[in-house]
A and B are shown apart, each in its own frame.
Chain A
Amino acid sequence: MSTEPIPMSDQEFWRSLAMDGGAASGSISDNDLAAWLEGRLAPAEAARVDAVLAADPVQRAAAMELSEILAMPLPAAPVRLAVRAQALVGFEAERMPASRPGFFVSLFAAGRRQAMRAAAMGTAAAILAVSGFLMGGGLGESYAQQKHITVVSSTDTSNELTDLFSDGNVI
């Protein structure tokens, strides 16, 4: 029986091997992966990322994909992507202050401003109407005045009719 070693190409040889079960697994944070991609991690941290990537084909493919994109010239993005994204942030005057707002500030905050304005206008109009009505004597006086005018006008009319008949003008 021959004890000669079997010659193998490097790739065949590698594929006949399996990494030990103790190979690293786990996740890499976005910040760590970004630092690793730029070669800015400390050796111990870089080794941990190397181990995770060696053990996980999905994360390895992701790292390779990012490395390729970062090295290539990028095509322009569709205009609508930028337009929609820019609309996500409003103008400074519309932004809430960073600190906790006071009662009146939150009362008139951007979201409620329109409704509050309408409510304030309505309230002011109602106050004006009521105060004007009260200054004019209120409902009772108004009714009495109206009644007086009616009585006076009906008396005048009956007097005119009496005068007409008494003068013998009726045929």
Chain B
Amino acid sequence: MTELNEINLRGLTAGNKRAWDQFVAAAAPLINAVVRRALAPYRLGEDDVMDAAQDVFVRLCASDFRLIKGYDPSRAGISTWLAVVARSAAIDHMRRRRQVADSIDDVPEAALAVEDRHTEKLKIPQGLLTDRQALMLRLLYDEDRDVTEVADLLKIDAQTVRSTHHKALLRLREHFKIDPT
């Protein structure tokens, strides 16, 4: 089977049926996986998941392949780009579906409730941490991700994650005058 990055995208957007068929065969596993994962919290049936995945392909070829024509290979590989687009399309599909299906009365109260996050916390002043440091601490502590996962996400090595994390905490402790244990 042809790999995704070997597909003739120019031929595909010019309407070459063979290129489209190859593209579908190569992209289907990725789109299937992304859509399933993105829609997992909604607990949909198999047919609904397939419809959402099909909708991704519909978007890709709509308006004379406008979406694929907008892909810029200098910014990202086709798999990464396709995964991002597929996830957005699946979430959008779900939103449209819910708009049609749900009225406000049908939504459980718990889903409408705004979480009360009013707790006394020390505020980190803007500029104390870099955006990357803040993101790393969020991933490590708010989401309990391990160093390897964060390194994979940020495309850096694990040692860089450890040292960035260490520097960020030192700066915070210094600012708030809190000694580490």
Chain A residues near B (Cβ < 8 Å): 5-11, 13-24, 30-31, 33-35, 37-40, 46-48, 50-51, 53-54, 57, 60-71, 74-78, 80-82, 84-86, 88-92, 95, 98
Query: Given A14-B141, A67-B153, A88-B57, do A24 and B29 touch, yes or no (CB 8 Å)?
Result: no
Which residues of the other chain, A, contact B58 by a CB distance below 8 angstroms?
Answer: 88
List the A residue with the shortest CB-CB distance to B132: A50
Inter-chain residue pair count (beta carbon < 8 A): 193
Q: Number of contacting residues on B, CB 8 A?
A: 69
Query: Contact at B28–A85, with CB atoms within 8 Å?
Result: yes
* Option from B20, B130, B135 in Cβ contact (under 8 Å) with A60: B135
Q: Using an 8 Å CB-CB cutoff, how does the interface string of B1-30 with A read, 1 for contact, 0 for none?
A: 000000000000001110011001100111
- Quick one: given A66-B87, A78-B32, A88-B57, are A31 and B81 in contact (CB under 8 Å)? yes
CA distance A16 to B85 in the complex (A): 36
Quick one: given A40-B75, A69-B37, are A10 and B139 in contact (CB under 8 Å)? no
CB atoms of B84 and A33 under 8 A apart: yes
Q: Are B124 and A38 in contact (CB under 8 A)?
A: no
Chain A residues near B161: list those with CB within 8 A.
none
